[in-house]
A and B are shown apart, each in its own frame.
Chain A
Amino acid sequence: MSTTTVTPEPPHVLAVDDSIVDRAVISRLLRSSKYRVTTVDSGKRALEVLSLDGDNVHMIITDYCMPEMSGYELLKRVKESTELREIPVVLMSSENSPPRIRRCLEEGAEEFLIKPVRASDLSRLCSRLITTLR
């Protein structure tokens, strides 16, 4: 039987979304499930946070459609990095596009959630992922 990794502090989730409304909702959703959350508005900022504090990020949840760097591009950058590739990455999108979903899963995304994201989506996801922390 595998042991559940017990963290001394609540897991830390990095949420990436260019929409201020979505950042507010996703961060409240995560906080109400007792996770620590850092929100950023772009892939570029996400990579900055990860370069400084990647060891302390237990999951990344990112919007797909963002200007400059899409969530897919961020996913690729994370999975190409030796330091970051173990961090689970979840994509979110309001567009339900099977080719897009497939592409993300093939690139190593843990899951692809359709917006608006519900509390039930997140609690199911987080309990599955965060017990297998690196």
Chain B
Amino acid sequence: MRNLRLNSDSRRAARGDRAGALIRTGRILSRLGYLDEQFCQVEDLQDEASPNFAEEVATLFFKDSARLISNVEQALEKYPKDFNRWDAYMQQLKGSCSSIGASRMKSECMSFRDYCGQGNVEGCMRSFHKVKREHGALRQKLEAYFQLLRQAGPAGAATRPGM
């Protein structure tokens, strides 16, 4: 796991409970591989003009990915063994994951596509289940992270941890 800007944590950790909770959340999300460097890139795009950009993108992502997951789900039901179609839908979802840095979810999307390539229906079903699970877990974690950021206020924004 790459060490993503964690070196100033010791300074930040001195700044109090909320900031500390934030850092712990960020480190956990990073260490567990939920999010990768791309998420840092997205956060780096925040400035005074767009102070909540990462949260806005995350909101867009969850709305869009719910739709894409539903597309895959319907395709699995309506078009049995249509691996090309299943793969095409999953490719879109994988792309979205990549853009926001959702690494665990992306990895499950890639497994699904591998199983499509092999023509393995059971493998596809299993990995699709994992995609949905990772989606739910990431949503929960990111909601908690952004909530902490909001509670921490401007000071929290200044101590936003590198993930």
Q: How far is the CA of A22 from the CA of B44 in the complex (A)?
A: 16
Q: Which residues of A lie under 8 Å from residue B64 when comparing CB positions?
A: 19-21
Q: Give residues of chain B (56-75) contacting chain A, Cβ–Cβ below 8 Å.
A: 56-57, 60-61, 64
Q: Which residues of A lie under 8 Å from residue B41 when comparing CB positions?
A: 116, 118-119
Chain A residue, CB-CB nearest to B64 = A20
The yes or no answer to A44 lying at the interface (CB within 8 A) is no
The yes or no answer to A32 lying at the interface (CB within 8 A) is yes
Q: How far is the CA of A117 from the CA of B91 in the complex (A)?
A: 17
Q: How far is the CA of A32 from the CA of B41 in the complex (A)?
A: 12
B72 to chain A, nearest CB (A): 15
| Structural contact, B50 and A19, CB atoms closer than 8 A | no
| Structural contact, B91 and A116, CB atoms closer than 8 A | no
The yes or no answer to A126 lying at the interface (CB within 8 A) is no
A interface, size bucket: 10 to 19
The yes or no answer to B100 lying at the interface (CB within 8 A) is yes
Q: Which residues of B lie under 8 Å from residue A115 when comparing CB positions?
A: 95, 98-99
Interface size on B, residues (CB 8 A): 22
Specify which of A19, A32, A65, A119 is in contact with B96 (CB 8 Å cutoff).
A19
| Structural contact, B91 and A25, CB atoms closer than 8 A | no
Q: Which residues of B lie under 8 Å from residue A29 when comparing CB positions?
A: 45
Q: Give residues of chain A (95-119) contacting chain B, Cβ–Cβ below 8 Å.
A: 115-116, 118-119
Question: What are 10 inter-chain pairs, A to B, with CB distance below 8 A?
Answer: A21-B61, A24-B57, A25-B42, A25-B99, A28-B53, A32-B45, A65-B95, A115-B98, A116-B41, A119-B45
Which residues of A are at the interface with B, using a C-beta cutoff of 8 A? Answer: 19-22, 24-25, 28-29, 32, 65, 94, 115-116, 118-119
Which residues of B are at the interface with A, using a C-beta cutoff of 8 A? Answer: 38, 41-42, 44-45, 47, 50, 53, 56-57, 60-61, 64, 91-92, 94-96, 98-101
